[in-house]
Structure 1
Amino acid sequence: MGKKLQRIQTLVLILVMVSTVDSIAQSPRFLPLQRHKVQWANAVIKNALKTKDTLQLAEGWYLYGKIYQASGDWLTSKRYFLKSLRLQEKKGASYELARLYIRLYSLEWQFFHYSESSHYAQLAKQVAERIKSDKALSLAYGAMQGLYETDWSEGSAKPYPPPNLDSSLYYLKQREKLAIKTGNQMDLAAILTTLSHRASVKKDIKSIEYAQKAVSIYQTQNDTLNEIKARVGLLNAYLTFNHLKKAGQEIDTIDAFQRALSIKIIDNEHYKRSLAQSKSSYYEQIGNFKKALENEREYVALERQIIHVDRDGLVSRLGLEYETEKKEAELKAQKRELHLSQQNQQTQQRFLGVLAVLLVGALAASIAFYRISVKNHRLSESNALLVREQNHRVKNNLQLVSSLLNLQLNRLTDDATKTVLEETQLRIEVMSVLQRTLYTGQTLGEVNLHDFLNEIVKVGLQTFGYEHVQVQTTISPSLHLPIDHAMRIGLIVNELLTNACKYAFPDHKAPKWSLSCEQSNHHWTLQVADNGPGFIPEKPISKKSSFGMRLIQLQADQLYATYQFEKNNGSLFQMKFKVQST
């Protein structure tokens, strides 16, 4: 008999917990987003923004939080509650602030987050006590009661305290005083039902008195459904103290309610199970074993059903918690990406401002930046990407200058002037090819000489219309030169190719042109030859010499190179220079 009563008491505890808060073991019942409520929240926020009413805006965010909490989207709900909280906290203590803390407490409680639940419950209690609001205090004491009677070991937060029923009872009694003070009969009836169970556990005869008062209140309020629930509690109290006659009367009353009103006891399996077990215990004690067996079977069936519901509810809760944590991680990642993107945009804008300066100055800055990047072995990948971006912009500017020269060429009628501009356009194209090579290359601060010079030769021949010229290049694909050295070599090769197109290839039946570049240790040798009539410039080169010859001499001097022209079945240019490793 003792074990039977103990099982009944356990079921009553579950019954009471379900009557005060939604059972965490059951699958949560969520509502779809209700359009009229969303429209109302939108109207509140719109009016708040129009009138610049901060408190009304906070209320709008709060309404959104309630809507999404009811729909089961707890992450979105929490986000709106926190937006409302930031505004409410600035206005100081109020009922609305305490109400927000209670909402956040319930969200954290749903996931068994003890630290967060305790934090918000304590804040709600502090605010309610400060403003001396009975309504706020009732909410806060209810949160504190739930905090102390919850078994937090089901969650993952550690450390967590064991249930403290004495502290829970203290806040329950505080709620009773407030319900009596304010005359809230429905709250008082629910509290009395809980007190009845607590007294029953302690073998206190007051449990019957508490249950009777709860039944009486529900009768007065014409709340039949809650009256039936309260009578189940009263039935268990009678069985606890072996008042079998009164227990039988309560069973008859509950059954009569169901027959007369054509309703089921309650749509909650915990109450059904409690009633079935109470009936089984009653019929067993009076010797009606047939009915006792029938109710015991119903109890077992409900027990299995609840186990399935608990399992499904746990899976559902864990799935929601997983999705919530995943969304939080995604939001943090998006914030980090947004912050990095903003930093990159700011950096790019600074570089574009620098590139707005003169073209030559931008190119010089690019070369200097490359030299620094070569010496800085720990330069991050992000800085390398920025350098390539700068290089790309310089290349575009060079192409723009080349396009402008081309437009000007179309308007000129003087052949000599057009020739000068065409040669200038080719020299700019050398720098443009250099920039393209840098932009597409995998190394910073160095140029692949094979790709660079071959591109210059290809562009030059296309410009003069000599694509049919037989070209032979002997350059190892592994040869690389620093940027400034490569640019000077490119200008020299371009001038020599231009001279060949102007003087060696015209009227030649089988024009040929060759280019070779070799390296031995730090010593480099460049040779350019054609099969034209041959050309030896005057020595020394003076101001009266052509611009092309002066440009070749200037670039050779910058390389500290020695060079010479020879006639050998055409023109042969040979230059030797030295490049120190960096």
Structure 2
Amino acid sequence: MKQQIDFVNCSFHEFYKILSVLFYKVFFLLLIGYVSFFLSSYQCFGQSKIEERKLTYAKDVYRDAILKKDSLLLAEAYYLLGKWEFNTKRSYLRSKMWYIKSLNILEKKPLIYESGRIHVRLSECEQSLGNYIQSFFHCYKAISIHQIINSQKGLIIAYVHLAKLHSYNWSTTNGITVATHLDSAVFYLNKAEALAKLTDDKEAIKQIGLDKGQIHLEDFDNYAKAGYKQLDSEPEEDKYTTLALATLHHFKAKLLNNNLEEAKLLLDKADRLFHEKCPLSMEVNILLQACNALYAVKRGDWINAYNYQVKLTELEKRKLSDDRASLLKLLGSANESSNQELLLEAQKQELVLQTENFKRQNNLFYIVVTLSLLLLGSAIVFYILFRKYRKVSNQNAVLVREQSHRLKNNLQALSDLLHLQSNRLKDSKVKQAVEEIQLRVEAMTTLHKLLYNGNQLAMVPLPDFLAEVAEIVLHSFDCKNVELSINIPDVYLTPTQALPLGLILNELTTNSCKYAFPNNPSPKYAINISIEKEILTMIIEDNGQTDFSEKVNLDKPKSFGLQLIQMQVMQLYGSYSLLFKKGMYFELSFQIR
């Protein structure tokens, strides 16, 4: 104020008048800024359902790109996800990340409109992050690309964005002090408008006119009147929100020019549009309350201004609560989006693993089938061979049994012949020799009889064989009073080992019957066999009184019986000893085969 005020002499009424004017101007400027903020940001409110549909569409595009393996479609999906992050969540860094991923794909292709479009979006991200140089760099890069490919639509978008960069208040971001250049903003808007008129893009013309009106709000009619009138005369169904916002811009212009009547008409028109044609949301109510408060302040109607301000405060509290709930929901959607991407990648890897597992399972199935067929074929061959072998084995068993039976019969016939012949002999020595031969034949006959009657085809039960041999000899010499002791384990031997034992026992028993048992009041005869570590030891004893130790020479035996015993021991690859002190003591050891 140029007039000097003398606070001492001025009246209380003048002082109150001055304070009222100052308060009015400050409050009016605050409301103007408040309304400007809502007008510039309203288009981002009340769009949650639309943004959810956009996110769903972006996910569908991403899924199709993965399935079709289309890199251009994948770049488009990344672009849509970045745009959703920017418009809905205001997550500029994540939005920038999606745009860069899309640009990395497109840079490998020839220059196309989408490349320049992404640079414009990157410029918006850098502007929001306060990066002055990078923002202008991407914008000029977009202009360069659109000039090369001669895309007038792309140039219009790039010029409009460049105008916004020149009119942006950079001094409020990250402490960077950069002056706004409104003349440069208008210059690039004029270039964009010229291209829009050249291509007859009416929508672009209207929007450029409104942008000019926002730059020069006090001269709104000169810059935006044509676009506003065209919107007002031919409003499309989906452009009512733009018309309502433009009407409020026009209201602000009339209010600044103190044209209260026309401002009131424009305010009522915007209120009517919002209530009848546009979605009435919390943001709309706040915007209208702020405009009504601004109009009341301009008229000096402080009571209504205060009432509108109270309603405005209540609506803002409710809006903050709703924004908090929406933010939590968006955070959940963001996590779901990230998880969905990870899930898709995991599903892709799982699909690859399932394919590999399927191939392995097929290969394993073929291997198992092949091995099963081979096993089945081998089993059939083995079964045939087993049947053949069992048949041959049964035939061989029959032949062996028949052979043993015939041999037993032959030996028995030979024994009978020897018995008949011995009965006719009168010479006692010859008769004794024939009888001894008969006993030896009887031993062999016993062996073959056991072979024929036994359960095991080629094995001789040693206890039965030796006991029967000893009893035959004792019976032949009529030694009924001999106390016979036999201790033989249950063991089976082959005929090649059993027969020598039988012949040895036959010779020793014959010798005891001839020399030890006669004139012996209590004759005893013992046969003991033990087996340890596959070594068989046979001990034969009697209690005869005759001492033959001086007459027997084991190194050079003279009697046929001792020679026969020595031959059988050699056949067994064993060792033996024979003593005649207080009875006969014979010990034989050999290894069982």
Q: What's the TM-score once normalised by structure 1's chain length?
A: 0.43
| Larger CA Rg, structure 1 vs 2 | 2
Q: TM-score, normalising length from structure 2?
A: 0.42
Which structure is higher in RCO with an 8 Å CA cutoff and minimum separation 6? Answer: 1
